[in-house]
Amino acid sequence: MVRPQRKIVACLGSSSTAGKGQAFDWMAELRRRPGNGQFEFRNFGVGGDLAYNALQRLPDVLACRPDKVIVWVGGNDVLTLVSRKVRRFFTFWKRLPRTPSPDWFHENLAEIARRLKRETAADIGLCSLPPIGEAPDSDDPFQSELNRRIKEYSAIVAAIAHEERCGYVPLHEALTEAVRASPGRAYTAFNFLPFYRDAFRVLVLRQRPDDVARVNGWLFHTDGVHLNSRAGLIVADRLQKFVQA
């Protein structure tokens, strides 16, 4: 008996898409689910990528001739806008030709959507952005600005999905609702040392990301930026709906 060819689901984004290290591996979760044997999930997530970088890698996605494409990118665009430290580092590391801005994010994500529509027959799902930090009503300046920008950039994603007639995956809405029901710590500054420490815990010491989250005092995140399983399962459920549609 010839097995039916599996549908290719290409997943484009940054570390939250890649699901490595301290980030919840939602693709592995979807692969485990009994009804998803018909899908082949391709991981095009690269840590640290902005929408600009994802656009540069789009030919790899196009080459796999996907049936569905999930685009989840933008968290690093927000971090580079809010944190001068992150902006300096990412500008060098990711060779950014311009200073990150909402307009540039819109430009890059819209071009990703347009090219996917033009060069594939795939169903396209654009994902809004999960919260960074867990204090939606915080007075802390850094957390407050993150909240504002995450909301702003999620609105940009929704607008592009509408303009380009793509699918829209409301991760921001679903996770904000969950965080509001059980608020936690504010994310008050970005520091590289804790990120390296947590990566060491997971990749070298083989600690589970959820255990790292508990040590760090987060409810929905591992480190304030990357999601743990509590939030990651919400993401997986939302993406399951898109994949099955």
Over 90: is that where the pLDDT of 5 sits? no
What's the pLDDT score for residue 214?
A: 96
What's the pLDDT score for residue 3?
A: 56
Domains, the chain: 7-244 (3.40.50.1110)
Over 60: is that where the pLDDT of 2 sits? no
Averaged pLDDT, 218-234: 98
Over 70: is that where the pLDDT of 1 sits? no
Give the C-alpha separation, 155 to 128, whole Å.
Answer: 8
What does the pLDDT look like over 60-105, one tens digit per residue?
Answer: 999 999 999 999 999 999 999 999 999 999 999 999 999 999 999 9
What's the pLDDT score for residue 91?
A: 97
Contact 174, 238 (CB under 8 A): yes
Helices (H), the chain: 15-18, 26-32, 51-56, 58-63, 75-82, 84-93, 102-119, 141-163, 171-181, 192-203, 209-216, 229-244
Give the C-alpha separation, 42 to 61, whole Å.
Answer: 9
Give the C-alpha separation, 137 to 47, whole Å.
Answer: 28
What does the pLDDT look like over 166-205, one tens digit per residue?
Answer: 999 999 999 999 999 999 999 999 999 998 899 999 999 9
Contact 133, 183 (CB under 8 A): no
Which one-letter DSSP state was computed for residue 81? H
pLDDT band for position 4 (cuts 50, 70, 90): low
pLDDT band for position 56 (cuts 50, 70, 90): very high
